[in-house]
């Protein structure tokens, strides 16, 4: 019996020893997480931090700081701790390995106000609401079948643009504005069904371009306010004073946006009430949303505010970014005439000179696809992506990343990394061509050397539509016209203007000259 007691005692001691070792290992792991140091970074001033030293082109400044402090570093902007990540391996940790932790956003006061307290997809933090609203957006609105069903609306707007340019051959046109108006009119047609009337919008004497111009003014104010440094964001204790009037301005812009969108929704709801559920006959994006709103059995309930937030994601998220991509691509091609000649020959070989470009042609344009990808590599519309906010303290690259700090992914630096890209500052579409090497680059963020639309669960939800629109507009411009700089314009200015969307600081002016056959030109005149 004594032997049994001794044996039991030995088992108990061993069990306690094992538990103690496991607890020690767990505590050591936890202590390592807690005691890991913050990344290195530049010293700033007391209270203000590094704010006084920020320049205009933040993405390039962040890249230079990475050369000094490494691919992950910190800087204080007022009382806000910011972490900047500038390497593919560390971006993988953020976007893939720790995707759940880094899936929240860190919206500014302007962003919160302009999006009805982050009711949209871009700025809302991860959670049940975001998952449902994104699922609705992707599954109900941007499914392949819905995008294909709306092709005739996109085609109609592209044809109108080609006709407008044909009528203005020989005169300089602003490429970015042309692309924006085409994008806007196409998107508003897909949302509204292509039947907008001038009375629908504020200022009923406007034509379609007037609607686009009105919205362009609103969206420009929207984006400028998002880009404006707001002292209340850097020092939240001052937010209630609204020292720069940012929240007041945001409320004014939101009122304009609401008036614009309420007119769309209210008119359609009146049609629904007048004609009944089965007689409207439209399945555009707005009708899809209204059907979900009035469907009691819908697994994704939606109200009017959420509808407006989703529509704004399409209009603001799609127009400026895509139009900017078209403008940068045309700037690079005007700077490289041989590349322009080559892509025009490819398009003509596929389409012929007696037809116009259709979306069905796009998969056959391999060189055009390479041009678009190289444009997005060298000129990503959102070079710092939308900042992320970790939901808990974690380790990235051996450093502690505190909960609720602001994390920037410097996509611009990663896509110009000389360790990955040969001659990274040169515009070379050929790098995206050629067998297996060319096929490994896509827009879904699977390769963290090239992810202009982001990666992980916060990857851009509108990729399929954006990809089609940029390529379709660019191919149509190149197939229908020859292009040259205005007289006296000897070189393209590639100076950037930093913002949430990085644009050319000087708009690109180019002169279209007829390249279409006379038969096609006459056909355009009938549109």
d(CA 331, CA 504): 9
CATH number at 158 reads 1.10.630.10
Question: Does residue 324 contact residue 173 with C-beta atoms inside 8 Å?
Answer: no
Q: Tell me: pLDDT of 11 over 90.
A: no
d(CA 508, CA 175): 6
Asked if the structure places residue 497 within a domain, the reply is yes
- Output the CA angle 125-285-272, nearest 5 degrees: 120
Measuring CA to CA, how many Å separate 375 from each of 150, 228, 367, 426, 443?
27, 26, 12, 11, 13
Q: Tell me: pLDDT of 250 over 60.
A: yes
> 105 CB contacts (<8 Å, ≥6 apart)?
118, 122, 123, 124, 125, 386, 387, 388, 389
Asked if the structure places residue 15 within a domain, the reply is no
Predicted pLDDT at 498:
87
Give the DSSP per-residue string, 59-125: HHHHHHHHHHH-SEEEEEETTEEEEEE-SHHHHHIIIIITTTTT-EE---HHHHHHTTTT-STTTSP
- The mean-pLDDT minimum among 49-63, 69-83, 192-206, 362-376 falls in 192-206
Asked if the structure places residue 22 within a domain, the reply is no
pLDDT, mean of residues 271-285: 63
Bridging pattern class, strands 394-396 and 481-484: unpaired
The residue range of the domain holding 76 is 36-524
Reported confidence tier of residue 199, pLDDT bands at 50, 70, 90:
very low
Asked if the structure places residue 144 within a domain, the reply is yes
d(CA 72, CA 41): 9
Predicted pLDDT at 198:
36
pLDDT, mean of residues 44-51: 94
Asked if the structure places residue 20 within a domain, the reply is no
- The mean-pLDDT minimum among 21-30, 310-319, 397-406 falls in 21-30
Asked if the structure places residue 16 within a domain, the reply is no
- DSSP annotation of 494 reads -
Residue-averaged pLDDT of the chain: 85
Question: Does residue 479 contact residue 306 with C-beta atoms inside 8 Å?
Answer: no
Reported confidence tier of residue 22, pLDDT bands at 50, 70, 90:
low
CA neighbours closer than 13 Å in the CB half-sphere of residue 181: 19
pLDDT digits (tens, 9 = 90+) for 473-484: 999 999 999 999
> 384 CB contacts (<8 Å, ≥6 apart)?
58, 59, 62, 408, 409, 410, 411, 412
CB atoms within 10 A of CB 169: 17
253-280 b/e (C-beta count within 10 Å ≥ 16 → b): bbebbeebbeebbebbeebbeeeeeeeb
- The mean-pLDDT minimum among 75-79, 93-97, 213-217, 510-514 falls in 213-217
d(CA 144, CA 406): 35
Bridging pattern class, strands 496-497 and 503-504: antiparallel
Predicted pLDDT at 177:
92
pLDDT, mean of residues 481-498: 88
> What would the two tokens of residue 46 be?
């007391």
Asked if the structure places residue 495 within a domain, the reply is yes
Asked if the structure places residue 307 within a domain, the reply is yes
> 352 CB contacts (<8 Å, ≥6 apart)?
none
Strand (E) or helix (H) holding 481: strand 481-484
Question: Does residue 65 contact residue 75 with C-beta atoms inside 8 Å?
Answer: yes
d(CA 400, CA 385): 22
- The mean-pLDDT minimum among 37-51, 58-72, 102-116, 196-210 falls in 196-210
Provide the strand spans (E) within 166-318: 173-174
SS3 at position 484: strand
30 CB-contact burial (10 Å; exposed 0-12 / middle 13-18 / buried 19+) = exposed
DSSP bridge pairs for 504: 496
pLDDT, mean of residues 66-87: 97
- Closest C-alpha to 120, from 315, 326, 273: 315
- Residue 45 has phi, psi (to 5 degrees) of -95, 155
Predicted pLDDT at 524:
67
Percent of the chain scoring above 70 in pLDDT: 84
- Closest C-alpha to 342, from 333, 355, 332: 333
Predicted pLDDT at 18:
54
Q: Note if the pTM is more than 0.75.
A: yes
CB atoms within 10 A of CB 433: 16
User: How many domains is the chain built from?
Assistant: 1
Predicted pLDDT at 35:
62
pLDDT, mean of residues 40-64: 93
d(CA 198, CA 220): 22
CA dihedral 111, 58, 448, 359 (to 10 degrees): 70
- Residue 125 has phi, psi (to 5 degrees) of -80, 160
């Amino acid at each position: 019996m004594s032997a049994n007691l001794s044996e039991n005692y030995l088992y108990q001691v061993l069990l306690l020893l094992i538990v103690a070792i496991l607890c020690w290992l767990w505590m050591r792991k936890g202590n390592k997480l807690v005691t890991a140091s913050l990344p290195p970074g530049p010293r700033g001033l007391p209270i203000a931090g590094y704010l006084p030293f920020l320049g205009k082109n933040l993405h390039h400044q962040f890249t230079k700081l990475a050369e000094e402090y490494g691919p992950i570093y910190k800087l204080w902007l007022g009382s806000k701790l910011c972490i900047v990540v500038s390497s593919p391996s560390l971006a993988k940790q953020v976007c893939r390995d720790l995707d759940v932790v880094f899936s929240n956003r860190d919206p500014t006061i302007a962003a919160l106000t302009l999006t009805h307290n982050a009711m949209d997809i871009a700025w809302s933090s991860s959670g049940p609401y975001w998952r449902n609203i994104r699922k609705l957006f992707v599954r109900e609105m941007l499914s392949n079948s819905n995008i294909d069903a709306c092709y005739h609306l996109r085609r109609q707007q592209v044809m109108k643009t080609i006709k407008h340019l044909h009528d203005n051959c020989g005169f300089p046109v602003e490429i970015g504005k042309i692309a924006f108006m085409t994008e806007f009119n196409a998107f508003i047609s897909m949302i509204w069904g292509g039947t907008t009337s001038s009375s629908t919008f504020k200022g009923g004497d406007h034509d379609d371009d007037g609607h686009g111009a009105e919205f362009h003014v609103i969206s420009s104010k929207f984006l400028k306010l998002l880009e404006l440094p707001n002292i209340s964001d850097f020092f939240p204790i001052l937010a209630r004073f609204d020292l720069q009037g940012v929240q007041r301005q945001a409320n004014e812009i939101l009122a304009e946006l609401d008036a614009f969108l309420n007119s769309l929704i209210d008119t359609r709801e009146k049609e629904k009430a007048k004609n009944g559920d089965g007689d409207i006959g439209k399945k555009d994006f707005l009708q899809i949303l209204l059907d979900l709103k009035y469907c009691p059995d819908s697994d994704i309930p939606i109200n009017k505010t959420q509808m407006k937030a989703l529509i704004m994601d399409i209009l603001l998220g799609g127009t400026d970014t895509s139009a900017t991509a078209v403008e940068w691509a045309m700037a690079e091609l005007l700077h490289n005439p041989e590349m322009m000649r080559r892509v025009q020959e490819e398009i003509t070989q596929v389409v012929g000179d007696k037809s116009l470009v259709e979306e069905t042609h796009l998969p056959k344009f391999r060189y055009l696809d390479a041009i678009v990808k190289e444009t997005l590599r060298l000129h990503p519309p959102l070079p710092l992506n939308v900042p992320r906010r970790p939901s808990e303290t974690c380790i990235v690259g051996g450093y502690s990343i505190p909960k609720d700090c602001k994390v920037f992914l410097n996509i611009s630096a990663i896509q110009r990394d000389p360790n990955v890209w040969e001659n990274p500052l040169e515009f070379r579409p050929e790098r995206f061509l050629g067998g297996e090497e060319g096929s490994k680059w896509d827009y879904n963020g699977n390769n963290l050397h090239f992810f202009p639309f982001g990666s992980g669960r916060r990857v851009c939800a509108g990729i399929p539509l954006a990809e089609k629109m940029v390529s379709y507009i660019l191919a149509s411009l190149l197939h229908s016209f020859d292009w040259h700089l205005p007289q006296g314009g000897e070189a393209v200015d590639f100076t950037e203007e930093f913002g949430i969307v990085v644009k050319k600081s000087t708009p690109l002016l180019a002169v279209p000259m007829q390249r279409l056959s006379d038969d096609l030109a006459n056909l355009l005149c009938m549109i």
